[in-house]
Chain A
Amino acid sequence: MENGSRLKAYDVEGGKLLWTQTLGTIQKAPLVFADGKLYVGTESGKFFIVRPFADHAEILSDVEMPPSKDDNAGQSAGIPEPIFGGAAVSRGRIFFVSTGGVYAIGAKTPTKPAGFTVDEPAAKGEGDATWVRVSPTEMVLKPGQAVKLTATAFDRMGRAIGPASNVTWSLTGLKGTVAPDGTFTPAADVVEQAGTIKATAGAVSGEARARVVRPLPWTETFDAMADGSVPPGWIIVGTAKTAVGAIDGQKALYKAPDNTIFKRYRGFVGDVNLSDYTVEADVRGTTKRRQMSDLGVTAQRYSLILYGNAQQMKIESWEPETHRAAVVPYEWKPDTWYHLKLRVENMPDGKVRARGKAWPTGAQEPDAWTIEKIDPIGNHKGAPGFFIDAEFGAYIDNIKVAKNQ
């Protein structure tokens, strides 16, 4: 099937085009061949059964789907239900899905299957090892928290040979120790670090990655960090051109002007399993080309964000789900520091409550929360972080994460 919904048959040997049969206008669904016939639906909303011959196609059945119903819009007059997916064949019947429903055609009662295809057992590796897998491969650890790593050798076909032999272990970017048995223990006196643990077995090797994250509560003012440095293990931050820099004689985390896809990103810091905590930070936006930054903090997969152009404050877990966002008007200015505070709590009834407030940095904290979202099917855990959408640059400072009081 072509994207233009023309069915074409080719000679398997020479690739010679045998015939072309137009079925519709635009095509997404693949062909399924069964019982000597081709089964296929089109985006134009028809389902076809076609018998292929060496020199032509015979259309055995050509059924237009019913008009699409769109309950959200209250409109019934639509186009025939488009078919995007391939058909499935089972026990003498054909199943397919349109945008409006699941359809089955064929016998009223299923026929008995004539045989089964059974998965073969995984093949055993053989010969020289070409790769070493270190497991677990991705880790989030606390300072001093030991973890046992295993190294497994694989052959050139990707088949497991068995435990790698004569393994030597080494660390990159991490302070700590690895015992000969693979036990990695990060240094207890380094609160935050990130890097890789490498297992070398002869000529081949493999790596695991670890982030060591600080226990709550913590505060980061960036004052002790070098200009241009990126805090270790802060996810996406470095890639998104964000690093320690100075403004008005004070160090902060600076997001440099950037019009790539990383102008807008979420940075994550620390343990993904945290819950019931409060994140605070100072943020400062910019304005250019009539556009102002959007800045926020994240806790437990909820973000409290100040939107610049819209002059709004929102709590949202995913921006495209606009119907699930809490929104209030909030006036704020570029080139000015604001303090954000977001508290997320797991409620006894299983719901999750997120509350936020913002005020000009240095002013007194308002007593009341400004915005609240109760999520009936909530996110129960997630890493702290922040949100930046700033093509023309932005600052974030004094990040503070603490268990809810």
Chain B
Amino acid sequence: MKKILLALAIVAVAAGVFRLKAEATGAGVSDPGTGDWPMWGGTPDRNMVSNMKGLPTEWDVKTKKNVKWVAELGSQSYGNPVVAGGMVFVGTNNEAMRDPKQPGDRGVLMAFKEDTGEFMWQQTHEKLSSGRANDWPYQGVASSPAVEGNKLYYVSNRGVVWCLDINGFADGNQGPVKDEKLTGPHDADVIWSFDMMEEVGSYPHNLSNSSPVIYGNLIFVSTSNGQDESHVHIPSPKAPAIIALDKVTGELAWEDNSVQDRILHGQWSTPSVGKIGGVEQVVSAQGDGWVRGYDLKGKKLWEFDTNPKDAVWPKTRNEVIGTPVIYDDKVYIANGQDPEHGEGVGHLYAIDATKRGDITQTGRLWHYDKIRRSISTPSLADGLLYIPDFSGFLHCLDAKTGQVYWTHDMFAAVWGSTMVVDGRIYLGDEDGDVTVLATGKTKKVLGEMNMGSAVYATLVPAHGRLYLNNRNQLFALSVDGK
């Protein structure tokens, strides 16, 4: 039996490689193919899988076995690392202050050298004076950057979309922005910025966190527009849920506000892009619990309600925090709630996004209601879907039918997502444990390693290493220190 499974796995991997080659220029690729991991999910479809080989399956942060390097972050790090241009970029807070001239509570984006973990440069942002309503203390930068060429894009804790030069000032001061106040060797070279609060009226609830996605000439970002601290009032119902910016100039290309004043709480899901039924689409889960698809010019193509009609916020009606994944002409998404709201019932869907209009009924390929509230993003590989929920259950389903093959109890809350690579599933949890399981229809736990502090992030594969941050440290993991 084992041999058969192994053979199947090899075929599946081969198919994956083929898919990568066949669609190297298209949107169906679920691996950057370069060895980099330049954005949340690696590719615009956000599928949490990689074709990489030779990654470690065990390590020990105490003895440093298979630990290449460790870099100090702040005290809380909710963003996810990305790897590109020989560097690792990650958001954190300012509790590991790198520059005494930039003191106090701030959101921080840090850049480290990929091979050594050497600190390269940072950009910091003071907190908004509005405090918890818009910018929760000590949450840092929670956006995972997106990198293309020498340019890096992310959203700060102040709701500003930034375009930076990944080389800092080492290659001169890139414009149009040339009046940076801090121009030292460890400061950030700003190319342009776009203030979503000022320009489109966003009133982010608790924190702006969107992870940008780049496609063609545009960048897509959700605004995080939401309630004020009364938790019933939407101060800015005319602000969009999603915007598209010109990646060169930072100018607003289009916006959409189908949600209006129906935001249940905040808007913390992050958009995806992919080709579905031959049409390039931006897919965005929004504050009313609906998922919407747009063409690249901002025309709304479809919308799908992830909640049963009789669900009641906040008991049974959910928001969407996880990221929609585009795979095999379908959209996969689970709903859930702010971790502060605790555990509850959730819903996971496969959506046929070739349909148009309100596709809540017509586009629902399957619905899995045995999941709890989830803020995670699924991995789809070889016809199987893996997704954890906030209650700590990892679910393995048939991607075509929604049939469940197995579940695994992590015995800890899960905020991050699975990473499927080389026949293994990696998943971290709030107890700081990373569990490694075998892919496939049969559950098999291969190991569990503790990172010393809660893991809210997702493991990232790049150039034969795994990168992972717990709350206060960034780890580069590789076999025998490669």
Q: Which residues of A contact B200 (CB under 8 A)?
A: 290
* A117 → B minimal CB distance (Å): 34
- Cβ A289 vs Cβ B236 within 8 A: yes
**Of the residues A263, A289, A319, contact of B201 by C-beta under 8 Å:** A289
* B338 → A minimal CB distance (Å): 13
Contact A79-B345, Cβ < 8 Å, known A261-B229, A290-B201, A310-B261: yes
Within 8 A of B (CB), among A350-405: 389, 391
* A28 → B minimal CB distance (Å): 8
* B308 → A minimal CB distance (Å): 7
Map CB proximity to B onto A3-36 as digits: 1 under 8 Å, 0 otherwise. 0111000000000000000101110000000000
Q: Which residues of A contact B151 (CB under 8 A)?
A: none
- Cβ A43 vs Cβ B235 within 8 A: no
- Cβ A70 vs Cβ B392 within 8 A: no
Most buried by B among A25, A43, A44, A389: A25
- Cβ B312 vs Cβ A25 within 8 A: no
- Cβ B261 vs Cβ A25 within 8 A: no
Map CB proximity to B onto A154-180 as digits: 1 under 8 Å, 0 otherwise. 000000000000000000000000000
Complex-state Cα separation, A10 to B28, whole angstroms: 53
Contact A70-B261, Cβ < 8 Å, known A4-B431, A79-B345, A261-B131: no
- Cβ B130 vs Cβ A309 within 8 A: no
Q: What count of chain B residues pass the 8 Å CB interface test?
A: 46
Q: Which residues of A contact B411 (CB under 8 A)?
A: 5, 22, 24-25
Complex-state Cα separation, A320 to B411, whole angstroms: 35
Complex-state Cα separation, A391 to B228, whole angstroms: 12
Complex-state Cα separation, A77 to B128, whole angstroms: 42
A109 within 8 A of B: no
- Cβ B413 vs Cβ A290 within 8 A: no
- Cβ B391 vs Cβ A289 within 8 A: no
Most buried by B among A73, A78, A264: A73
**Of the residues B130, B203, B391, contact of A25 by C-beta under 8 Å:** B391
Complex-state Cα separation, A6 to B430, whole angstroms: 12
A239 within 8 A of B: no
Contact A264-B201, Cβ < 8 Å, known A4-B412, A78-B345: no
**Of the residues A70, A77, A79, A263, contact of B343 by C-beta under 8 Å:** A79
- Cβ A79 vs Cβ B131 within 8 A: no
Contact A26-B413, Cβ < 8 Å, known A290-B238, A310-B237, A320-B232: yes
Complex-state Cα separation, A22 to B448, whole angstroms: 15
- Cβ A70 vs Cβ B233 within 8 A: no
A322 within 8 A of B: yes
**Of the residues B203, B229, B343, B431, contact of A6 by C-beta under 8 Å:** B431
A111 within 8 A of B: no
Map CB proximity to B onto A279-310 as digits: 1 under 8 Å, 0 otherwise. 00000000001110000000000000000011
- Cβ B345 vs Cβ A259 within 8 A: no
Q: Which residues of B contact A260 (CB under 8 A)?
A: 129-131
B468 within 8 A of A: no
Residue of B nearest to A322 (CB): B232
**Of the residues A73, A75, A263, A320, contact of B130 by C-beta under 8 Å:** A263
Q: Which residues of B contact A309 (CB under 8 A)?
A: 234-238, 261
Within 8 A of B (CB), among A54-111: 70, 72-75, 77-79, 82
Most buried by A among B134, B238, B316, B344: B316
- Cβ B197 vs Cβ A289 within 8 A: yes
* A299 → B minimal CB distance (Å): 21
Complex-state Cα separation, A25 to B392, whole angstroms: 7
Contact A259-B129, Cβ < 8 Å, known A25-B413, A291-B235, A391-B235: yes
Q: Which residues of B contact A70 (CB under 8 A)?
A: 312, 315-316
Residue of B nearest to A67 (CB): B345
Residue of A nearest to B391 (CB): A25
B198 within 8 A of A: yes
- Cβ A79 vs Cβ B391 within 8 A: yes
Contact A261-B133, Cβ < 8 Å, known A4-B412, A74-B310, A309-B237: yes
Q: Is the interface of B mostly helix, strand, loop or mixed?
A: loop
What number of residue pairs across chains A and B have CB atoms under 8 A from each other?
A: 102
- Cβ B130 vs Cβ A4 within 8 A: no
B425 within 8 A of A: no
Complex-state Cα separation, A75 to B234, whole angstroms: 28
Residue of B nearest to A259 (CB): B130
**Of the residues B228, B308, B343, contact of A44 by C-beta under 8 Å:** B343
B239 within 8 A of A: yes
Complex-state Cα separation, A24 to B431, whole angstroms: 11
Q: What count of chain A residues pass the 8 Å CB interface test?
A: 33
**Of the residues A73, A74, A289, contact of B198 by C-beta under 8 Å:** A289
Contact A25-B311, Cβ < 8 Å, known A261-B229, A290-B236: no
Complex-state Cα separation, A264 to B234, whole angstroms: 13
- Cβ B391 vs Cβ A44 within 8 A: yes
B231 within 8 A of A: yes
B115 within 8 A of A: no
Complex-state Cα separation, A147 to B464, whole angstroms: 80
Complex-state Cα separation, A4 to B415, whole angstroms: 13
* B445 → A minimal CB distance (Å): 15
Q: Which residues of A contact B128 (CB under 8 A)?
A: 259
- Cβ A75 vs Cβ B308 within 8 A: yes
Contact A319-B310, Cβ < 8 Å, known A44-B343, A82-B343, A309-B261: no
Complex-state Cα separation, A43 to B369, whole angstroms: 20
Residue of B nearest to A74 (CB): B310
Q: Which residues of B contact A259 (CB under 8 A)?
A: 128-130, 134
Within 8 A of A (CB), among B4-28: none
Q: Which residues of B contact A322 (CB under 8 A)?
A: 232
Q: Which residues of A contact B63 (CB under 8 A)?
A: none
Complex-state Cα separation, A289 to B201, whole angstroms: 4
- Cβ A75 vs Cβ B316 within 8 A: yes
B275 within 8 A of A: no
* B213 → A minimal CB distance (Å): 25
Q: Which residues of A contact B430 (CB under 8 A)?
A: 4
Complex-state Cα separation, A283 to B233, whole angstroms: 20
B265 within 8 A of A: no
Residue of B nearest to A78 (CB): B345
Complex-state Cα separation, A300 to B232, whole angstroms: 22
Within 8 A of A (CB), among B200-232: 200-201, 203, 228-232
Q: Which residues of A contact B344 (CB under 8 A)?
A: 78-79
Complex-state Cα separation, A75 to B281, whole angstroms: 34
Contact A77-B315, Cβ < 8 Å, known A260-B131, A309-B261: no
**Of the residues B235, B310, B392, B413, contact of A73 by C-beta under 8 Å:** B310
B372 within 8 A of A: yes
B342 within 8 A of A: yes
Q: Which residues of A contact B315 (CB under 8 A)?
A: 70, 72-73
Q: Which residues of A contact B413 (CB under 8 A)?
A: 4, 25-26
Map CB proximity to B onto A298-338 as digits: 1 under 8 Å, 0 otherwise. 00000000000110000000011010000000000000000
A-B contact pairs, 20 of them (CB 8 A): A4-B413, A4-B431, A5-B412, A22-B411, A25-B391, A25-B410, A25-B411, A72-B315, A73-B310, A73-B312, A73-B315, A78-B344, A79-B345, A79-B372, A260-B131, A261-B130, A289-B236, A290-B238, A291-B238, A309-B234
Q: Which residues of B contact A (CB under 8 A)?
A: 128-134, 197-198, 200-201, 203, 228-239, 261, 308, 310-312, 315-317, 342-345, 369, 372, 391-392, 410-413, 430-431
What 6 pairs between A and B have smallest CB-CB spacing? A290-B201, A259-B130, A290-B238, A289-B201, A73-B316, A25-B392
Known A70-B312, A79-B345, A389-B235; further 16 A-B contacts with Cβ < 8 A: A22-B411, A24-B411, A25-B392, A26-B391, A26-B413, A43-B342, A44-B343, A73-B310, A75-B311, A75-B316, A261-B132, A289-B201, A309-B234, A309-B237, A319-B232, A391-B235
